[in-house]
Structure formats: C-alpha cells, structure tokens
Amino acid sequence: MTQPTHITIATRESELAMWQAEYIKSELVSLYPRLEVTILGMTTQGDKTLNKSLSKIGGKGLFIKELEVALQNKEADIAVHSLKDLPMHLSDEFMIAAIGKREDARDAFVSNDFGALEMLPPGSIVGTSSLRRQSQLQRRFPELVIEPLRGNLQTRLKKLDKKQYQGIILAAAGLIRLKLKNRIRQYMSPENSIPAVGQGALAIEILKVRSDLIELLKPLHHQESAYCVLAERAMSRTLGGSCNVPLGAHAIIENKILKLQGFVASIDGKEMIKDKIEGSIADAEKLGEKLAKQLLDQGADKILASLVI
C-alpha cells in the first residue's frame, strides 16, 4: 500500500490542542522525514459556548464534531484529540487509530493563595465545570462552594488570577504539557479524585476506510496506555457515561496486571459507589465491563436513574 506523502492534522485551536497537534506532527516527521505534515486549526461548538456547562449543551461530542466533518470532507487526514473529550461511542465510519503515551492522569489543585485543598477556609470558591470533580470535592469538602469554570486552560487560569476563585481544579497533564507545572500546588491522588476516563492520553482519529493511515500511525500507539484507557472507557460505556454523569475511572498496570478503580456519584457527592478490580491486561475491556456491573450491583443504577440535569 502506498504511504501518504502529505498529512493534514485537524485540531481545536486552543493552545493545549495545538500543542498536542504539534507534538504528533513532530513525531510523524521524526519517523517519516519525507512526510509533509500541516495542521488545520478549527473552532468547535464546545469552544464557542462558554456560558453553560458541557452537560447542558450536549456533552463532549461538541469538541470533535467539526474535526470529524473535516475528515469526512477530506480537508484533514487525522484528528488529534484529548482522549477524555471523545464520546464513548464513535460513529461507525470513524476509529481510533492510535493512543499516545499517557501523561500524568491526576487532577491538580491550582491556587495563588493556598497550598492544598485542605487549607481552604469554609465558604471558599473552587472552580470546575466537571460533575465528576464536583461530586468528589463536595463529598470530601462539603463546606466549600463549587462554581462553574469553562474555557480553555489559559482562560481558566486568568479567572483564577482575577480572584474569581480561591482555587481551581485542572488536569495535571495539560499544565505539564504547556510547561505550567509550577502552577500546580497539589496533585490530587487518584484515590481522592478519581480522574476522568482517558485523562492525560491523546487519541488519533481517522476514517475507517483510510487503511493507508493505520500502518503509518502504528509507531505512535502506546499499548500500555491503550490497555488502561480501553478498560476505563469500557466501564464508562457500560454505565452509559457522559458529561451528565459524575463518574470516573483510573487504570494502572503493575507486573502485567491491570488495576482499575471507578466510581459513580450523585452530583452533591452524598451518594457515591466506588469499587476496583484487577486482572490480565489482555482482558482490559472485559475488566471495565465487569467493574461497571459490580457498581450497578451495588446500586449505581439507582444513582444513574436519579440524575436529571
């Protein structure tokens, strides 16, 4: 099969998304010095609508629709996403061709005045638009006030710097990638703040018919990261996970054993069901499905049924 001589990468135009696209571009050019790679920056509906939470405007798919249309229209060959932005079900014509090596999957507490969440006085305002983060925060710190925080990473940091919040919660991976690690005051342990499904990992999406790209992208695929995020996504998919559902999952691999933990909660965190499972990496997706069933057996179905956003 003839290898492409030119690749166009579709991406969102935020600084972090552009970093991700530039990173994939540099990897491709390093692997294939004769390959010409260009980047097509796009503004998605999710980027335009900043005055409402994702759960109220249609969920994570709003960050990928325009990029998928670019693939369909042959304006781009591949789309680079934060994996946590990808819906649990892709349309039949698309596929994830590669999952990049995962960065730190943890949540991070960012503040100009306090070194840790535990130091915040009662009534302090903490910014996040993630129902997953909100539910876990409110369970641990019911005395804090959680307020919405939308926008790209720089916009969120600016709102913090204007003292609209005493602290905000962000994904550590984005801060690290943009060399803003120094803004992190506290890394939140995955036990206390179970991350979003796929957090910290990059996904490369293509049209299924583009078999010429599958081989080209193989060297960018990090299998250990893929096992972890596939288990997480299987759990979420089985539970019907979306932006409307406060749930999280986090997998690690130790000595070829995949260890997965996950939770489902009410938005206020008063009801929460957590569990964990471990098994062979070869059974990653089955483990995710099995953990979802364990959560359902413990009453997660009642929590899910009660969620009206």
pLDDT at 58: 46
Q: Is the pLDDT of residue 57 over 50?
A: no
For domain 232-303, give the fold: Double Stranded RNA Binding Domain (3.30.160)
Query: How far is residue 49's CA from residue 57's CA, in Å, rounded to a whole number?
Result: 8
Render the burial of 120-143: b for 16+ CB within 10 Å, e for the rest.
Answer: beeebbbbbbbbbbbbbbbbebee
Query: Tokens 């949540």 label which residue?
Result: 107
pLDDT bucket at 45, cuts 50 / 70 / 90: low
Q: Is the pLDDT of residue 47 over 60?
A: no
Cβ pair 244, 304 in contact under 8 A: no
Q: Is the pLDDT of residue 308 over 70?
A: no
pLDDT at 254: 97
pLDDT bucket at 150, cuts 50 / 70 / 90: confident
| CATH of range 107-188; options 3.40.630.30, 3.30.420.10, 2.30.42.10, 3.40.190.10 | 3.40.190.10
- Domain map of the chain by residue range? 6-102+201-221, 107-188, 232-303
Within 10 A of 89 (CB to CB), how many other CB atoms are there? Answer: 11
Which residue out of 85, 104, 107, 275 is catalytically annotated? Answer: 85
Cβ pair 162, 179 in contact under 8 A: no
Cβ pair 224, 199 in contact under 8 A: no
pTM of the model: 0.90
Quick check: do 107-188 and 232-303 share a fold? no
**What confidence tens digit (pLDDT) does each residue in 210-223 have?**
999 999 999 999 99
Over residues 166-193, the mean pLDDT reads 97
pLDDT at 61: 59
Over residues 146-163, the mean pLDDT reads 94
Q: Which residues contact 254 (CB under 8 A, 6 or more apart)?
A: none
Query: How far is residue 272's CA from residue 119's CA, in Å, rounded to a whole number?
Result: 24
Q: Which amino acid is at 89?
A: H
Q: Is the pLDDT of residue 49 over 60?
A: no
For domain 6-102+201-221, give the fold: D-Maltodextrin-Binding Protein; domain 2 (3.40.190)
85 is catalytic: yes
64 versus 286: the higher-pLDDT residue is 286
**What confidence tens digit (pLDDT) does each residue in 227-239 have?**
999 999 999 999 9
